[in-house]
Amino acid sequence: MLEVKNITVAYGSDTVVKDVSFAVKPGEVIGIVGESGSGKSTVLKSILGLLDSRGKVLGGEILLNGENLLGFTSGRMRQIRGKEIAMVFQHPELSLDPVWPVGRSFYESIRVHREITKKEAAVQGRKLLEALELGEPDKILSSYPFELSGGMCQRAAIAIAMANRPGILLADEPTSALDVTVQKQVIETMMQMRKEFSASILIVSHNIGVIAKMADFVGVMRRGQMVEWGTKEEVLYSPEHDYTKALIRAVPKMGGELPAAAEEVGHG
C-alpha cells in the first residue's frame, strides 16, 4: 500500500538519502535501523512531505495505493497526513499542544478531517484509550501533557495519531527519550494498536532491540543508503552485509561480554 521507490533526498548540496526503496504492506511492521546521520529520519519526513525548507526529494517515487505523494499539492498532503498516514515523534511533549488537554488535541485532530462534536470525540477518545488499555481514559483526556509522565504522553500521542484510523503509522524514534521500563509499555501499546486496527507501522530507531521486538521486515541504513533489507530473522539473526554484522556485534548483550568494536563500523 505504501511503496518507496528509489528516493534520493538532499539538504542543500548534501545528499542524505541515496536511492532507497522499500514497501509497507497492510498490517506489517517495518523497522529501519541506522545510526545518527544515516538518513533514516529523513526517509520518514519525505514520505509525509515534512522536510524542512532546505531539504528536497531529488528523485524517485513515494506511492500510496498507487498514487505518487511527491506530486501532491500541499493541500492534498494535509488531507493525507493524519487521515491516511499518521506520525509519532521522539518527544511526545513536542507533538502534543501544551496548552490543550489531551482530549482537546484528540478532538482537533479528528476535526481537521471530518465534522465531529466535542462529545462524540470524547466518546471515541475514551473507546480508543480503553482499547489500548491505558488505565483511566477520562483522567487522561482531561489532563494537560505536562501532567502526564513521558511514557503516558507518548501513548496518548499514539492514540491521537490513530484517531482517524490511518492505515499507516510512522514512528520516528518513539521510545528513545523514554526509560527502558516505559519503552516496553509504549512498544506494547503500538503492537496492540496494530492488532486492534490492523494498521501498518513504519518505525525508525537507532535501538536494534526495539526493532527486533517489533518489526516483521528490517532495513539497515548507513550514510543514506539501504545496505540490507529482509525479514527480521534474515537481517538480524543471519546478516549478510558487513555493516549489519558489525552493528549487531556492537549491541551490548546481557551476560558479560564486551560489545565488539569493529573499526569498520565507526565514523567516530
Q: Applying CB under 8 A, which residues contact other proteins? A: 11-14, 35-36, 54, 146-147, 179-184, 187, 206-210, 212-213, 236-237, 246-262, 265-268
Q: Nearest-CA neighbor of 129 among 117, 144, 141, 120?
A: 141
Measured from the CB atom, is 69 or 236 closer to other proteins?
A: 236
Measured from the CB atom, is 73 or 146 closer to other proteins?
A: 146
Q: How far apart are CA 113 and CA 83, in angstroms?
A: 7
CB of 88 to other proteins, least distance (A): 18
**Please, which residues bridge with residue 15 across strands?**
10
Measured from the CB atom, is 139 or 253 closer to other proteins?
A: 253
Give the number of other Cβ atoms within 10 Å of residue 160's Cβ.
Answer: 26
Helices (H) and strands (E) counted in the chain, each on its own, are 11, 10
**DSSP string covering 94-141, please?**
HHS-TTS-HHHHHHHHHHTTS---HHHHHHHHHHHHHHTT-S-HHHHH
Strand duo 29-33 + 85-88: pairing: unpaired
CB of 228 to other proteins, least distance (A): 15
Measured from the CB atom, is 154 or 183 closer to other proteins?
A: 183
Measured from the CB atom, is 125 or 145 closer to other proteins?
A: 145
CB of 218 to other proteins, least distance (A): 11
What is the total residue count of the chain? Answer: 268
Three-state secondary structure readout of 173-209: CCCCCCCHHHHHHHHHHHHHHHHHHCCEEEEEECCHH
CB of 23 to other proteins, least distance (A): 25
CB of 253 to other proteins, least distance (A): 6
Measured from the CB atom, is 9 or 247 closer to other proteins?
A: 247
Q: Angle at which helices 102-111 and 150-161 pack, to 10 degrees? A: 20
CB of 184 to other proteins, least distance (A): 4
Q: Nearest-CA neighbor of 221 among 203, 200, 195?
A: 203
CB of 174 to other proteins, least distance (A): 13
Measured from the CB atom, is 113 or 184 closer to other proteins?
A: 184
Identify the H or E element spanning 11: strand 2-11
